[in-house]
Amino acid sequence: MEKRRLGKTNLMVSEIGFGGEWLERHPEEESVELIRYAGEKEINIIDCWMPDPKSRDIIGKAIADCRDKWYVQGHIGSTWQDGQYVRTRDMKYVKPAFEDLLARLQTDYIDLGMIHYVDSREEWNSIQDSEYLRYVKELKESGVIRHIGISSHNPKVAKLAAMSGYVEMILFSINPAYDMLPASEDIETLFKDEYDQSLTGIDPDRAELYRICEQNDIGITVMKGFAGGRLFDEKRSPFGVSLTPVQCIHYALTRPAVDAILCGYDTKEQIDAAVAYETATAEEQDYASVIANAPFHSYRGECTYCGHCKPCVARLDIAMINKYYDLAVMQPEIPATVKSHYQLLAHKASECIGCHACESRCPFGVSIAERMKKTAELFGC
């Protein structure tokens, strides 16, 4: 299992993670065994947004004997009231719910303390000078949470978090369909079965979010990577074709700043299907050809960093060069971190010989040679 550094947290997380929201659907012993099986496959990051006692007890029992091998995303503000999930900033509920999380997980710390589910700018603004945020920061200062994160589905809010100075990582919804949708404060827009067929290419707010996170060393963990399973069904997929788990995982993991995708599992076979990404061939990972040839939607002319352009006769890592170019042109001046990362590449854009062989392999018709020329001019090599 490949590990990635989760931004400035410096935690080395498995690029395939565990989203725990389906645990309560199964008998406790079965779900405990499922988490342990994931651990055997070297998955080491798990998300617990769920406030219900059963889900929390399951995770606690599963990791009790190996707590130091797991990184837990524990959500602050996800509460259980009268047998129902309630998202709140009311400290009358927030503090007991977090203390319950610690108790049921049988731990005295949470690796990633998540500001739970902020999708509106109004709510983001309202928590900035609040008892709720002071509590989160106090937990960080006391070591009860090791790092502060946030979960959001709205790229405009996530950008504010990435630039806040205190948020260290973001749990964000990413898949090739969502990336075409504009920012919204209504999560339901992400889950409808029909999408506007005029949408093309990645939404600018989402592209900017990934770049800001990359520049500020804000790690991203991914939720909703399969769009609730819609992408596996050509009749419900907004592309009119089906994708595989491996293709969806590859899409998420090739976004700037993304370090892990947290998949939901009902069975060991589903864990195996996700972990199969680690040994998948380039053909099995290839989401780009599927999207490019789909009857609906297109990323025409946009580099999605899929790597389809390989191999390069000049040994350029074209996808990575394109990624650094996109990160650089977002700002009036090239960020020092981006320039440094580019300089570390073994082969620079200036080494492009202009053969255009890569362009014949690009599913989206990107003018790669021209982008290499612009990149060389921008970075000076």
pLDDT tens digits for 208-261?
999 999 989 999 999 988 877 778 878 767 777 888 999 999 999 999 999 999
Residue 180 CA to residue 13 CA, distance in Å, equals 27
What's the whole-number average pLDDT of the chain? 88
Start-to-end C-alpha separation, the chain: 35
Per-residue pLDDT, 330: 67
Q: What percent of the chain shows pLDDT beyond 70?
A: 91
Residue 314 CA to residue 356 CA, distance in Å, equals 11
Is the pLDDT assigned to residue 335 strictly greater than 70? yes
Per-residue pLDDT, 159: 96
Per-residue pLDDT, 25: 77
* 324 compared with 103, residue with greater pLDDT: 103
Q: What percent of the chain shows pLDDT beyond 90?
A: 61
Is the pLDDT assigned to residue 285 strictly greater than 80? yes
Q: Which one, of 344, 331, 319, lies nearest residue 378 by Cα?
A: 331
Per-residue pLDDT, 52: 92
291 contacts: CB under 8 Å, gap ≥ 6:
176, 239, 297, 298, 299, 304, 363
Per-residue pLDDT, 75: 97
Residue written as tokens 């492009």? 352
Binned at pLDDT 50, 70 and 90, residue 58 comes out as very high
Binned at pLDDT 50, 70 and 90, residue 185 comes out as low
Could you report the per-residue pLDDT of 73-132, keeping only the tens digit for each? 999 999 999 888 888 999 999 999 999 999 999 999 999 999 999 988 999 999 999 999
370 contacts: CB under 8 Å, gap ≥ 6:
none
Residue 207 CA to residue 143 CA, distance in Å, equals 33
Give CA separation, 352 vs 185, 317, 348, 358, in Å.
43, 11, 8, 11
Binned at pLDDT 50, 70 and 90, residue 180 comes out as confident
Could you report the per-residue pLDDT of 339-372, keeping only the tens digit for each? 888 888 889 999 999 999 898 877 677 899 999 9
Residue 224 CA to residue 177 CA, distance in Å, equals 11
Residue 374 CA to residue 326 CA, distance in Å, equals 11
Per-residue pLDDT, 310: 77
Per-residue pLDDT, 340: 81
Residue 24 CA to residue 60 CA, distance in Å, equals 13
Half-sphere exposure of 204 (CA within 13 A, CB side): 1
Q: Which amino acid is at 44?
A: N
Q: Which amino acid is at 223?
A: M
Half-sphere exposure of 309 (CA within 13 A, CB side): 29
Q: pTM for the whole thing?
A: 0.79
The helix/strand/coil state of 24 is helix
Give me 366's structure tokens. Answer: 């990107």
Determine how β-strand 12-14 pairs with β-strand 3-5: antiparallel
DSSP bridge partners of 5: 12
